[in-house]
Amino acid sequence: MLNRRMFLQGSAALGGAFTLGAGLAERAGAAPDPQILTARFAEAQIAAGGVTPRVMTYDPGDPASAAMPPVLRMRKGEPFAARLVNRLDEPTTVHWHGLRIANAMDGVPEMTQPYVYPGDGFDYLFTPPDAGTFWYHPHCNTLMQMGSGLTGVIVVENPEDPSFEVLNLRDWRLGASGEFIAPFKPRDAARGGTYGTVRTANWQREPVYDAPAGGLVRVRIAATDVTRIYTIGLEGAEARVIALDGNPVEIPFALDRLDLGPGQRVDLALRMPQSEGQHARLGNFRGSSPWTIAAFRAVGTSLKRELGDIAPLPPNPVAEADISTAKRIPIDLTATAEHEPAASICGSLGYTFWAINKVPWPGDTPDPVAPIEELKFGKSYVLEIANRTPHAHPIHLHGLSFRILASNRRSLLPPPTDTILLLPDEQAQLALVADNPGDWVFHCHIIEHQKTGMSAYFRVA
Ligand code: C2O
Ligand code: CU
């Protein structure tokens, strides 16, 4: 009998060929033309002090440009195809963060697909069921690959969506002349994570965008940094939060200060200042010295629009859990000093600092631990998650959305999400319906935490 491991090795052994993962997932219907995503090295001007060599990007077809991975536009309920071509010098994959798609398309090496070695490719084909703001990144050697640039934004459009600006927020660990420096410090990995030295939106330091005075601007913001938790706020204009983590909020609310952890997204509607030349500034207000992420400059005579003019976004088809029958699953996030890290094809940071239910696992390794729990297809569950550490952890679940039912640290309960920023000592109840079969990774999106043990998975069968 061919088990899954053998199957993966078998397809990897074909070597050089494009693995037809897509054929397994979606046999019906003609595939659309694939979006080419060539993972490759480039040079980019990111720091003030010099050009950064060996940035990694996804090139959509123009090898002369060294720019941010493209914003991928998909349509809700319509098939989307992408061909990953690996021109790096190490294996990679693409994970579609927040998209509830078939497990074979999830991009986790060893678990859902073979490694894509240099010179090889992989064809992805899936149909996103939800409209909203999502993102994509590798799921192999992630601290290095994401830290070097491989984080891009996905917009899944509803046919009737208004247009949005997209902001991809991330940092870079660069030295004074723009070169990459050590991606992390072990003592920080054992705490809140290691921060970058250059902060960017769309790979630019404090970009300024023009928009009509008194007009409405919708902005999709994705926090794709490997470490930084933002506390965003707006100065010089008013804004409403209209969606969080790819799902519309039921009643849009005024943006005051909003925490956004790695992996999370927020969609804002903002009304531009009335007079030409005035700025609305999106800032990070975490910590003692706030700074500007990006700004919007009013141009022209006022359009005199009102935030109330904005029609609500239609909800996504996320199933509601049946709480009365739901099985409860305790999940404890802890620090750990035990266990030796093992070398892995997808990289090892060489340390173990964190564990889920006492078991540390860095993810993306050939021999995963047992699943946290085997979930029965179609059944409801409540994850009783407890953060037993003094640090915040943005915990992400692949392939399934969950609803925060209750928490000892928050009163505002967001719409369904794929990533919860668990606060220090927070205990929360997360409800979900196990309606997507497969092995779904569950990990902290502070990548140093993930790669030093804070990773696990559920099996839905
Ligand atoms: Cu954003 Cu395991 O992923
Ligand atoms: Cu963490």
Q: pLDDT value at position 12?
A: 36
Question: Counting Cβ atoms within 10 Å, is residue 389 exposed (0-12), middle (13-18) or buried (19+)?
Answer: buried
Q: Ligand 1 centre and the CA of 339: distance in Å? A: 23
Question: Counting Cβ atoms within 10 Å, is residue 51 exposed (0-12), middle (13-18) or buried (19+)?
Answer: middle
Give how far Cα 437 sits from Cα of 5, 121, 362, 377, 400, Å. 17, 25, 22, 6, 10
Q: Is 139 in the pocket of ligand 1 (CB under 6 A)?
A: yes
Q: Ligand 2 centre and the CA of 132: distance in Å? A: 25
**CA-wise closest residue to 450 among 330, 353, 371:** 353
Task: Using a pLDDT cut of 90, give the percent of the chain over it.
Answer: 84
Q: How many other CB atoms sit within 10 Å of the CB of residue 408?
A: 11
Q: Whose atoms come closest to the Cα of 363: which ligand?
A: 1
pLDDT band at 64 (very low <50, low <70, confident <90, very high): low
Find the range with the poorest average confidence among 62-71, 200-209, 332-341.
62-71
Mean pLDDT for the stretch of residues 166-172: 98
Q: How is 27-55 classified by DSSP, letter by letter? A: -SSPPPPPEEEEEEEEEEEEETTEEEEEE
Classify residue 288 by its DSSP letter.
S
Mean pLDDT for the stretch of residues 297-317: 91
Q: Which residues, other chains included, contact 27 with Cβ-Cβ below 8 Å and sequence gap of 6+? A: none
Q: How far apart are CA 9 and CA 5, in angstroms?
A: 6
Ligand 1: residue whose CA is nearest its atom 3: 97
Instruction: Calculate the average pLDDT of the chain.
Output: 91
Q: pLDDT value at position 366?
A: 83
**CA-wise closest residue to 264 among 90, 414, 42:** 414
Q: How is 257-280 classified by DSSP, letter by letter? A: -EEE-TT-EEEEEEEPPSSTT-EE
Q: Are 87 and 118 in contact, with CB atoms under 8 Å apart? A: yes
Find the range with the poorest average confidence among 57-66, 153-162, 389-398.
57-66
Ligand 1: residue whose CA is nearest its atom 1: 97
Helices (H) and strands (E) in the chain, counts: 5, 30
Q: pLDDT value at position 19?
A: 46
Find the range with the poorest average confidence among 17-26, 145-154, 249-258.
17-26
Q: pLDDT value at position 28?
A: 47
pLDDT digits (tens, 9 = 90+) for 10-19: 333 333 334 4
pTM of the model: 0.92
Q: pLDDT value at position 3?
A: 34
Q: Is 263 in the pocket of ligand 1 (CB under 6 A)?
A: yes
Q: Is 95 in the pocket of ligand 1 (CB under 6 A)?
A: yes
Q: Which residues, other chains included, contact 64 with Cβ-Cβ below 8 Å and sequence gap of 6+? A: none
Q: How far apart are CA 423 and CA 331, in angstroms?
A: 15
Q: Is 441 in the pocket of ligand 1 (CB under 6 A)?
A: yes
Q: Is 271 in the pocket of ligand 1 (CB under 6 A)?
A: no
Q: pLDDT value at position 9?
A: 34
**CA-wise closest residue to 262 among 249, 281, 246, 245:** 245
3-state secondary structure of 189: helix
Classify residue 139 by its DSSP letter.
S
pLDDT band at 444 (very low <50, low <70, confident <90, very high): very high
pLDDT band at 26 (very low <50, low <70, confident <90, very high): very low
Residues whose CB is under 5 A from ligand 2 (ion)?
393, 444, 446, 449
Q: Is 228 in the pocket of ligand 1 (CB under 6 A)?
A: no
Mean pLDDT for the stretch of residues 256-267: 97
More confident residue, 364 or 456: 456
**CA-wise closest residue to 397 among 215, 250, 263:** 263
Question: Counting Cβ atoms within 10 Å, is residue 94 exposed (0-12), middle (13-18) or buried (19+)?
Answer: buried
Mean pLDDT for the stretch of residues 448-452: 97
**CA-wise closest residue to 238 among 271, 209, 276:** 271
pLDDT digits (tens, 9 = 90+) for 334-354: 999 777 888 899 999 999 999
Classify residue 211 by its DSSP letter.
E
Q: pLDDT value at position 160?
A: 74
Q: How far apart are CA 287 and CA 264, in angstroms?
A: 19
pLDDT band at 320 (very low <50, low <70, confident <90, very high): very high
Q: Is 451 in the pocket of ligand 1 (CB under 6 A)?
A: no
pLDDT band at 81 (very low <50, low <70, confident <90, very high): very high
Q: pLDDT value at position 36?
A: 95
Q: Is 396 in the pocket of ligand 1 (CB under 6 A)?
A: yes
Tokens of 399: 């392939």
**Is a pLDDT exceeding 80 seen at residue 299?**
yes
**Is a pLDDT exceeding 90 seen at residue 175?**
yes
Mean pLDDT for the stretch of residues 382-391: 98
